[in-house]
Amino acid sequence: MNENQLDQALRKVARQQPAPRLSSNFTYRTLERIRMETARKEARREKRLFVLMLLTVCLMIAGCIGVLIHLCGLAQLKESLTAWLPSLPSIKNGKFYLPMLLALPLLALFNHWLRKKYRHLLP
């Protein structure tokens, strides 16, 4: 059997096969899988960015401390900190921390409400 005859035989068999039927919700399921994969990739990217941001902040803090130690010297820096620490507000004084203690839970609730309400707009 030569190549031309084989090609014709394969075409004939292919024509005899019934056309594949897709389920009625094939498009929806496919788009849903694409959305889920996109959301997974976005979550992975956000996690990577968060870790990189945290690493950058830690390195910046370490760099600032290093520069302060280099410029002032460790002994003078310790002396300045021990003189400065008593002037900070006491943790026993609740009035100083009250606005923050009230604002953080309210902001967390507001964030939760906004995410719930506008979930469809998030990627």
Residue 33's pLDDT is what? 94
| pTM tops 0.85, yes or no | no
The predicted-structure confidence for 44-87, as pLDDT tens digits, reads as follows: 999 999 999 999 999 999 999 999 889 888 888 888 888 888 87
Residue 45's pLDDT is what? 93
d(CA 7, CA 15): 12
Pick the residue with more confidence: 26 or 94?
26
Which residue type does 9 have? A
- Cα R_g (the chain), whole angstroms: 32
